[in-house]
Amino acid sequence: MTTRPKPTPAPKPRQTTEATPAPLLMIGTPAYGGMVHMDFTRGLLDLRSAGIAFSLATIGNESLITRGRNTLLSMFHHRPEYTHLLFLDADVSLPADSLRAMLAHQRDVIAAPVALKGRNAAGGRIFNLGRVVGESGELLLVERVGTAVLMLSRKAVSALVRQAVDEGRVYERASTLRGDASSSIHYDVFQVGVHEGEYLSEDFWACLNLRRLGFDICVVPEVVTQHHGVMAV
């Protein structure tokens, strides 16, 4: 089900300037069957204690991850008060200081490395990062990254929505979707398909389009996340 996001009160008033408004995040979390991990919940409490202003939008009755992420992105698009959309998976914990570091870079597309649940042949961890194509200061520029911890600015979301509209990838909200119904028009941003002989998942497909639209895919390498279920050594 979806829940209508309501701003989480911060301990301190948000400071704003005309040039750069203080960030207000919508955290979008697909939670199949409505289940989230304790690490995820503790991470949200950490964000609130740190005074980071956010709302949580979840979707728990959608078995198609592509449609679920499209729904969350469409909810964000129709609420101009939010500055950033943070995709955060239900089994991942992101510390408040790490999120502050991501925000401080002021990038339109920025992510944290998250370890996948399997390991490589040598027993090492595999991270949800594509090929590194460059550097920008402390950041890595990558070909693609997973959506476990991926933050998009409103500019980046708007560009993806405009592209979807131009290409006819627009559809009505599913009649079986429960909860918030204010975003009746959805945008098919998180697609899957074959590109140059490789099958791309929905997150890698979105990254492909973001790069086509002129956005860098940035990763903060020093951010440490916790992914429940990662195999022990």
CATH of the domain at 46: 3.90.550.40
What is the total count of domains within the chain?
1
**Strand bridging mode 25-30 / 54-59:** parallel
Residue 75, domain member (yes or no): yes
Domain housing 111: 25-227
Residue 4, domain member (yes or no): no
pTM exceeding 0.75: yes
- What is the pLDDT, as a whole number, of residue 125? 74
Low-confidence ranges of the chain (pLDDT < 50): 7-18
Residue 7, domain member (yes or no): no
Beta carbons of 146 and 203 less than 8 angstroms apart: yes
Residue 212, domain member (yes or no): yes
- What is the pLDDT, as a whole number, of residue 175? 60
